[in-house]
Structures are given as C-alpha cells and as structure tokens.
Amino acid sequence: MEGAGERKRGVRLCCVCKKARASVKRPKTLDHICRECFYHAFESEIHQVIIRNSLFRPGERVAIGASGGKDSTVLAYVLSKLNRLHNYGLHLFLLSVDEGITGYRDDSLETVHRNQVQYGLPLKVVSYKDLYGWTMDQIVDVIGFKNNCTFCGVFRRQALDRGASLLKVDKLVTGHNADDIAETVLLNLLRGDVARLSRCTSITTGEDGPIPRCKPFNPNLDSFITYAYFKRLDYFSTECIYSPNAYRGFAREFIKDLERIRPRAILDIIKSGENFRISTTTKMPEQGTCERCGYISSQKWCKACVLLDGLNRGLPKLGIGRSRGSVGSENGNESKVEKSIQGKQCGTLDF
C-alpha cells in the first residue's frame, strides 16, 4: 500500500536530501523521499496550515479529540511535537468519549490511555453513561440496530463539546486526512445537507458556538496512515460497529478509485466545497440555546435532549421523524426541507 513505495533494491535515493534511501512516494508531487524527509515535510505542512490560518494564540488551552484512531493519534503526536518545537505555548489535552460499546470502544480507549503516557498529555474521558445516563449498548438494546447511529453522532458531538468545556479549553482540534474532508463534501451532497456543505471545508468552524473547532488537515495529501505506520504510532481502527451506512461505504470506495486515476481529485473536491455558491440565507439556522441543557441549538431543545427524552419516556423513535421529500412532483425542486433530526451519521468513532 502507501508507504511501500518503490523500492528498487534500495537504489532510489530521496530526492530531497539525496542521501537516504527513498521509501515514500508523495501522492501530490509523486516525489520519492526518505522517511526523515517525509516526517519533516508532513510536520511542516501541518505547521504551515496552523500559521497560515492563525489557528492558535500563545497560552491557549487546546483539547485534541482523541478517538484512538490513526488521524487523532497522529495529530496528537505531531501537535505536541510542534508545540515544543515552535513554542506555540499551548496547553494541550487529550479528550476522549466513551460511548459505552463493550469490547470495542474499550480497546480504542486503551490506546488513548497509552498515548497519554507516551506523549505526556493529560487525558479526559467523558462517557455517555455519565452525560446522558445511557451507554450505546443500552441504547441499542432499546431501539435495535436501526437508527442508532443518529444517537451515536448527535451524542458524540455534544459529548466532545461538554468535555471541552469541563477542561475549560479555548479550542478543540480534530484530526482529518484530506480524503476525509473530501468524503464529507460528497456525503453532504448525497444527503442534501447544504448547510453543512457550506462549512465542511473550512479549517475552523463553530466560532459562534461554545468552543471553536479546527481541523488542520494536510493539503499535500500526505497520508496520516503513512505517518502513523512509519512512526509505529499506536492506533486502533475506529469504524463504528453500529454504523452500517451503505452510501458512506460507497463514497469511500469511490474516493479510493478516484485517487487511483487522479490523486488531485481529492483536493479538487475540497476546492469545489470551498467555492460552492451558497447564498448566506441557506447557511446554518439561527443558533439559540437548549432550554433543557443549555447547549447551542436552533430549536427549543437540542437534538440530544429530544433523543434523550424519547429514550427516557420509552419512545426511542421520537425525534427520528419520518418525512419524505416530494421530489420530482409538480413543484420540482421545491420539496420541503426535512424537519426531523438529521444528525450527522457517525460512521466512525473519529471526531
């Protein structure tokens, strides 16, 4: 796979330092470089993104959403290194969510615990059980396998924010590969979510929310996996077992196929996402706060509270409304917007 590169009996030399043996082919430039030069390129790319977008200010407290997956593991590693190297002056924390999925999340949390020791970063774990009184396993027991990823997705997003506010951090960063972001652009197109389409490519989101989030992804397409692989970083596969999401799977396959014919397509998708002509009126709805828990919400109650209320009253389908767009009928594209909760499907346990 990636990283295996072209290894012609060790004769090909790194085209940057011209000394060491090349072992990585960079997806965008197709340059063959050695490990050390790859690390350097990868890290400085992230550094550039941070500087160019002025993501942080000295003294800020920053939580890294740590799922135990490759992206967040690499981000935690690189960010703590850059923080030392370039004197960002950040106070970094690892923040994890325990959904309560037996035999599964346990493993990835163990990884995060090891990361805490390895990188010397304080770790905070917030659990669904503590926040909502329900574990994912319990939720699945009640509602079955259908729809449960709505719970997963909505609860996790809020859990991260709540964890971040418990840590009193100024910012929350999450790790993403460029192809994750490209995938998100496609998924938003496929599911009809224009509001998310308009902001899913921006590096910083939620400046108006309680805690801004940023995703310093690597625009040179250098893979997080390659980095993790060479650095022997300790990570865990984090596909959500409750997330059998057919079109997400198709989209992922599609992106892989695309990368094979035209690597730059990933960046082109992101570019499209950035340049879409979205009128300001279709952007996110007016945000207020949830009357029940105080979390930001455009409705009276936030999504999590609506779902929780249903669960607690023994009506778990509440809030996962059934509505059908009247597409293709007389008034064509005028079909009404779905009112019910359309939480971002979780798909993976990454953030």
Partner 1 sequence: MACNGSGCQSGVCYKDEDVTRNQPIKSEETDSTNPTKVCIKCKLNDAVSGYGGIDDGRFCADCFKTNLFGKFRFAVTSNAMITPTDKVLVAFSGGPSSRVALQFVHDMQERAQRNFDASRDRSLPVFAVGVVFIDESSVLSIPSNEMEEAVEVVGEIVSSLVPPRKDLHIVPIETVYSADSGEGKESLANVMNTVSDPTGREDMLLCLRMLALQKVASEYGYNRIVLGSCISRIACHVISATVKGQGYSLPADIQYVDARWEVPVVLPLRDCFAQEINMLCRLDGLKTVKFSTGPGSSINGLVSSFVSLLQEENPSRESTIVRTAGKLTPFQFNRIPEIIDGNVPLATRRRQKRYNLKSNESVSSESFCPLCNSPLHKSEIVDWSNMDSHRSSDLFNKSCCSSCQFQILPSDSTSMEQFYMDLPRSMVGRAKQVSNGKLSLLREQIQDFLLSDGEDET
- How far CA 260 is from CA of 144, 266, 273, in Å, comes to 38, 11, 21
Q: What's the alpha-carbon Rg for the chain, to the nearest Å?
A: 21
d(CA 101, CA 106): 7
- Provide the pairing of β-strand 171-173 with 123-127: unpaired
d(CA 180, CA 253): 12
d(CA 232, CA 228): 6
Q: Which of 79, 200, 290, 311 touches Zn ion (CB under 5 A)? A: 290
Task: Rank residues 136 and 164 by Cβ distance to partner 1 and give the closer one.
Answer: 136
Task: Rank residues 38 and 224 by Cβ distance to Zn ion and give the closer one.
Answer: 38
Q: Which of 287, 229, 257 is nearest to 39 (CA)?
A: 229
Question: What binding mask, one character per residue, do residues 60-99 give for Zn ion by CB under 5 A, x or -?
Answer: ----------------------------------------
Q: Which of partner 1, Zn ion, none has residue 274 at its interface (CB below 5 to 8 Å by kind)?
A: partner 1
The reply, when asked if residue 175 is annotated as ligand binding, is yes
Residues in contact with partner 1 by the rule CB under 8 A: 104, 145-147, 149-150, 185-186, 188-194, 197, 237, 239-250, 252-254, 257-258, 261-262, 264-265, 267-269, 271-279, 282, 320-325, 327-328, 330, 332-333, 335, 338, 340, 342, 345
Least separation in angstroms between CB 201 and partner 1: 9
Given a contact cutoff of 8 angstroms between Cβ atoms, the answer to whether 213 and 95 are in contact is no
Record the tokens describing residue 9, joined without a space: 């009996």
Burial class (CB within 10 angstroms; exposed 0-12, middle 13-18, buried 19+) of 294? exposed
Q: What 3-state DSSP class applies to 214?
A: strand
The reply, when asked if residue 10 is annotated as ligand binding, is no
Q: Which of Zn ion, partner 1, none has residue 115 at its interface (CB below 5 to 8 Å by kind)?
A: none
The reply, when asked if residue 208 is annotated as ligand binding, is no
Least separation in angstroms between CB 15 and Zn ion: 8
Least separation in angstroms between CB 71 and Zn ion: 17
Q: Which of Zn ion, partner 1, none has residue 37 at its interface (CB below 5 to 8 Å by kind)?
A: Zn ion
Given a contact cutoff of 8 angstroms between Cβ atoms, the answer to whether 34 and 20 are in contact is yes
Place of tokens 């060479």: 230
d(CA 109, CA 245): 23
Please report, as residue ranges, which positions from 130 to 149 form the binding site for Zn ion (by CB under 5 A). Answer: 149
The reply, when asked if residue 96 is annotated as ligand binding, is no
The reply to whether 307 sits near Zn ion by the rule CB under 5 A is no
DSSP code, position 284: P
Task: Rank residues 17 and 254 by Cβ distance to partner 1 and give the closer one.
Answer: 254
Least separation in angstroms between CB 248 and partner 1: 5
Task: Rank residues 130 and 268 by Cβ distance to partner 1 and give the closer one.
Answer: 268
The reply to whether 299 sits near Zn ion by the rule CB under 5 A is no
Q: Which of 24, 302, 311, 320 touches Zn ion (CB under 5 A)? A: 302
Between 70-85 and 35-52, two packed helices, what is the crossing angle to 10 degrees? Answer: 80
Least separation in angstroms between CB 351 and Zn ion: 12
Q: Which of 81, 113, 271, 292 touches Zn ion (CB under 5 A)? A: 292
Q: Where are the extended beta strands (E) located within 103-197?
A: 123-127, 171-173
Annotated binding site: 65-67, 71, 97, 175, 180
